[in-house]
Structure 1
Amino acid sequence: MKKEPEVKDAQRFAESWARWHAERERALAAPHGFLAITSLRWLSPEPTRFEDAPGTWSNTAEGPAVELAADEELTVDGATLRGRHVFTGLAERAGVFATYGDRAVEIARRGGEVILRPRDPGHRLRTAHAETPAYAPDPRWVLPGRYLPFKAPRAVTVGSVAEGLEHVYEAPGQVEFAWAGTTHRLTAFPGGHGGLLILFTDATSGVTTYAANRSLSVERPGEQGLVTLDFNRAVNLPCAYTDFATCPLPPAENRLPVAVEAGEKLPRERGGAA
């Protein structure tokens, strides 16, 4: 009987993780999610038409532009676009979605370049997607940590899975935690809702998990910088599923020498096992 509270806690922990994992899968398989991308196009000043997107596209001094034929149109935020349209003010790592029928086109800026990514809900990568394998949730991988802010944010340049592309992030600080008697520090980037985002690899990378990277979201630091790192919720980036991604690589100091046997594993699309 003394073990009953622990059993119940473990069950609640597993159920909470399962709900989170199911929501992750729903978002991943969204009609215009990353699994729906059919190509990755790098726009140049030369007007070019692509077989999987309406219009003729170019990257102009004003911004990315599209010239739509008389029988073509796009919709952006409820507004219908016809003829020529320039997407002005497109910031780094920002993007715009234009829809037509049940399909969409993403116009985005990555590493100073402008990309076009058409998305089709009927793309086979999406329709044939199998649930992402993951380690069984384990409370031992919920670790206390401490946020160590820099005196001022530091510009950190990291590579990309896209050859020749680099990303620059403003890192506000590092997160320190201990595992198996060893202290580790990971550079953190800004995350959602005032939290942090950590890109990392570990000894499982390229074995049971995706070789290039995984990411971990950390909630806003509490008093004295206290944070919680739940590696059970370490996730794949889009590049783990599709070649049409520009995901950043972790900074060198975020390559952990330990095996983080928690979180999402190598997707089946990349040869991962159930």
Structure 2
Amino acid sequence: MTLPTSTPETVTDARWEAVSSEHGVAALRYTHWLDAEARAYDGAPGLWRAVDDRVVGTGLRAQAPDAPLDEVVLAPGEHLDVGRLRLKAISREGAPALRVFDPETPGRTGLRGILSFPHDDGWALPGVFRPAPEGQINVIRSVDGYEREEPAVGTIALEVGGTPVELTVTGDPASGLSAVIADATSNVDAYRFRFLEIDPPAADGAVTVDFNNAYLPPCAFSDHYVCPLPPAGNRLGVRVEAGERATVLD
């Protein structure tokens, strides 16, 4: 099979490798949420069940002769390769799931590139980081409707297109912040939302928000991710023509 090739639109080699490699982001074919009953799941050899926050597979040799074990126990983040498949365990607030990465999934074999807006230094905007009050909680909603609570980190006040906004951010002010954003290009010229990495603020809170660093979330490449959605304050009414914007598919 000929591997897809990236379009020459400012996508770095490392980014393209992370997305399009054999077990990269675009190779996710299934996410199966497990319970205590061992059963077969689409795309996964053997039978699978949840034990505490672990993923347990049995009967793997019968289903896949090249499987290295008859039974496997995977902690969140661990994986097992069976043939060309990669079976990976994840956990969301103690609920385990089995992810099946398949190099032959159409989301990977049909991927031809990532479109980006032209780089524009004018989209590197000054802002001020404001830590959240102690004890404040944010509710994070995912694309599948799941909601979870986590301690609030803070906001960044800045102007975007002449409009004052306050971006809700996550992460660690000492090492780097991140935001989930949508804007007036969303669902028009770009995917419905994007992720944005932000360098740590200075001691006085001064920070640069460079929208050229906006990138597509994993769920732009597969419907089987459970990405967080942008909170209300991160849904901007202006067009942010910076960063990655859409995938290119056959």
TM-score, normalisation: structure 2:
0.85
Correspondence for 1:195 among 172, 176, 181: 176
CA 267–192 in structure 1, closer or farther in 2 if over 3 Å, else same: farther
Correspondence for 2:88 among 91, 96, 106: 106
CA 192–180 in structure 1, closer or farther in 2 if over 3 Å, else same: closer
CA root-mean-square deviation: 2.6
Match of 2:22 in 1: 31
Q: CA deviation at 1:193?
A: 7.6
Q: CA deviation at 1:142?
A: 0.9
Task: Name the SS for the 1:26 alignment partner.
Answer: helix
> How many residues in Structure 1 have an aligned counterpart in Structure 2?
241
Correspondence for 1:96 among 78, 97, 103: 78
Correspondence for 1:265 among 241, 245, 248: 245
CA distance in 1, matches of 2:189, 2:220: 12
Q: CA deviation at 1:66?
A: 1.5
Task: Name the SS for the 1:35 alignment partner.
Answer: helix
Task: Name the SS for the 2:17 alignment partner.
Answer: helix
Alignment pair present for 1:122 and 2:113: no
Match of 2:6 in 1: none
CA distance in 2, matches of 1:30, 1:116: 20
Q: CA deviation at 1:48?
A: 1.1
Alignment of 1:48-197 (within 5 A): 48-61=39-52, 63-71=54-62, 72=64, 82-88=69-75, 90=76, 95-110=77-92, 112-152=94-134, 154-162=136-144, 164-190=145-171, 194-197=175-178
Residue 18 of structure 2 aligns with an amino acid whose one-letter code is: A
Q: Which moved more, 1:179-188 or 1:55-64?
A: 55-64
Check the 8 A contact 2:198/2:208 in 1, yes or no. Answer: yes
CA distance in 1, matches of 2:30, 2:116: 27
Flag the structure with higher helix content: 1
CA distance in 2, matches of 1:97, 1:191: 28
CA 73–188 in structure 1, closer or farther in 2 if over 3 Å, else same: farther
Q: CA deviation at 1:205?
A: 1.0
Q: CA deviation at 1:40?
A: 2.0
Check the 8 A contact 2:185/2:240 in 1, yes or no. Answer: yes
Structure 2: gaps of 5 or more residues: 1-8
Correspondence for 1:239 among 212, 219, 222: 219
Q: CA deviation at 1:34?
A: 2.0
TM-score, normalisation: structure 1:
0.78
The sequence identity of aligned pairs, in percent, is 32
Q: CA deviation at 1:111?
A: 5.1
Flag the structure with higher strand content: 2
Match of 2:200 in 1: 220
Structure 1: gaps of 5 or more residues: 1-16
CA 190–126 in structure 1, closer or farther in 2 if over 3 Å, else same: same
Relative contact order (alpha carbons < 8 A, sep ≥ 6): 1 or 2 greater? 2
CA 115–200 in structure 1, closer or farther in 2 if over 3 Å, else same: same
Residue 122 of structure 1 aligns with an amino acid whose one-letter code is: E
CA distance in 1, matches of 2:94, 2:189: 33
Task: Name the SS for the 1:28 alignment partner.
Answer: helix
Q: Which moved more, 1:35-44 or 1:96-105?
A: 96-105
Check the 8 A contact 2:18/2:25 in 1, yes or no. Answer: no
